[in-house]
Amino acid sequence: MYIIAGLGNPGREYENTRHNAGFRVIDCLAERMRTEVNEKKHFALCGKGMLGAEKVLLLKPQTYMNNSGQSLRAAADFYKVPPENILVISDDINLEEGVLRIRMKGSAGGHNGLKSIIAHLGSQDFPRIRVGVGGKPEGWDLADYVLGSLKGNDGKRMEEAFRTAADAAELLVTEGGPAAMNRYNTKPQKPAKKERPVKKEESGEKEGSGEKEQES
């Protein structure tokens, strides 16, 4: 069995933001698996289905980004799933928009959600797909950037990236990490001109979300 966890923040105000890339990829996977991610369990919204011959639990932690590990540890303990069968999907400000980076293990790379997961699982040996959302333009606040609503060309590029990340997740589960890395670890391309995101009131932050703590 596999757990595929997409990282993000709960709440309507975060739905269409760069920081919720993981949630959006889970939505794409749920559609192709013909399941719904609406069961409240393990501090998350969950959905079950199959990818090929593999049983999969889709997970959207509802603990806010920098406490994501609490949810994954609860689900992993309940289903007795080892770290190597827990696939984590997150945003990455260090990758250009739409670029994917797949690794089978490694450090958090400054991402608060991955930091929490490593701490709770006590291991770095879990696969992850990082979806590039691009770095913030000079002079912009990081929270305003990652919590800004996706629109226009940025939105179209990221919608395509979410679908591609879902393809990568499916291939990783059904054919293994090397196959997924060979196909989807693309070389960075020249970044497109960014559009200023729509700001949230007071930058939309809630206590415990940890957005401003994400390292570049």
Q: What is the DSSP letter of 148?
A: S
Q: Residue 153 corresponds to which tokens in the numbers above?
A: 């060309």
Residues 46 and 75: their CA atoms lie apart, in Å, by 10
Strand positions, DSSP E, the chain: 2-6, 39-41, 44-51, 54-61, 86-92, 100-103, 128-132
Distance of CA 97 to the CA centre of its chain: 14
13 vs 45: CA distance, rounded Å: 17
**Exactly one of 19, 42, 111, 120 is catalytic; which is it?**
19
Question: How many CA atoms within 13 Å lie on the side-chain side of 73?
Answer: 15
CA distance 102 to 149: 25
* β-pair type (100-103, 2-6): unpaired
Rounded distance, CA 165 to CA 99, Å?
Answer: 9
**Inter-residue contact 46 to 57 (CB < 8 Å):** yes
| Residue 19 designated active-site | yes
User: Which residues have a catalytic role annotated?
Assistant: 19
